[in-house]
Amino acid sequence: MLRLEKIIGRKLFYRTRGGVKLTSHGELLVTYANRAVDLNDEALARLGEEAAAGPVRLGVSEQTALAGLTPALKRFQTTHPGVELKLMVATPGKLEFLLMQGELDFVISDPVRVAGLPVIEWRSRLAWLASTDFSIEPLKSLPLVLCQSTNWWHDKILSSLRRAGWEWRVVFESASLDATMAALDSGLGVSALLPETVRNPGICEVKTAGLPVLPEARLGLFRSPTATNRARVMMEVALAASIQAATGNRLAHSAEGPAWPSDENSPRAAEGLQELSGA
């Protein structure tokens, strides 16, 4: 990070209790890096000997459906117009079954919930979320709003509260992320979710109530054994680059290696983003 800031000549990061944040100059640099990824993907698509074409089927669990994927999918469809992209949102169990049956080419979910090694793996931070007008009273038990689609995170979340000396009570629980957001918006309580999933201006991150720091959520991109054609390889490259840009942290590749042949054929912009996050 220090080396990158020295090269740019501006402060790009600052540290908070919740981790490393981007300054305004850092956010500007990420914007240009995203544009570089777009240009790189377009160049790969147009200069390739064989245009990517055919169907690609991607499955995502509900809590990750909005976590930085929209720009990735839009970019992919723009640079690969011959690809027929189908997106499915379902429970991790169903996604794993369809992946193993060859009915999905890729799945994005928690690695704990899907058998096998992910092609790439990354981490996203969880955040305490509540209505903008919701007030937390430290001397009373914390009203929790839980989303069942993230129930494999619950033990870690509750352990964090327990270690910090917080009491809690579950006031709302649903299998639907939309219903969970509606409960938060109505002021029923607080929840721990990926902040990227929030699209409602009435819901914000809780930062001043003394709530404990939440654990990171692990996410992975899984490939079906049948996903071998050019369209699917290009989809994997595009997703890796876009996830890198959206999360701002280094991606870990599985031992079996990425789908593209070598580092020199992978997107230069993605390498630049790895330098940004890992410098």
DSSP state string for 217-267: EEEEEEE-TT--SHHHHHHHHHHHHHHHHHH-SPPEEPTT--SSS-GGGS-
Q: Interior CA angle at 234 toward 87 and 37, to 5°?
A: 95
Q: Are residues 108 and 140 in the same domain?
A: no
CATH (domain of 153): 3.40.190.10
The average confidence (pLDDT) of the chain is 75
Amino acid making up residue 146: L
pLDDT at residue number 141: 92
Domain endpoint, select from 214, 234, 264? 214
For residue 10, the enclosing domain spans 2-124+217-278
What does pTM read for this prediction? 0.64
pLDDT at residue number 218: 82
pLDDT at residue number 36: 73
3-state class (DSSP) for residue 273: helix
- Total count of domains within the chain: 2
Q: Look at residue 255 and tell me whether its pLDDT is greater than 60.
A: no
Average pLDDT over residues 224-252: 68
Least confident of 138-147, 179-188, 215-224: 215-224
Q: Are 248 and 22 in contact (CB under 8 A)?
A: yes
Least confident of 35-44, 129-138, 211-220: 35-44
Q: Are residues 29 and 156 in the same domain?
A: no
The pLDDT confidence band at residue 248, using thresholds 50, 70 and 90, is low
Q: Are residues 9 and 118 in the same domain?
A: yes
Q: Look at residue 279 and tell me whether its pLDDT is greater than 60.
A: no
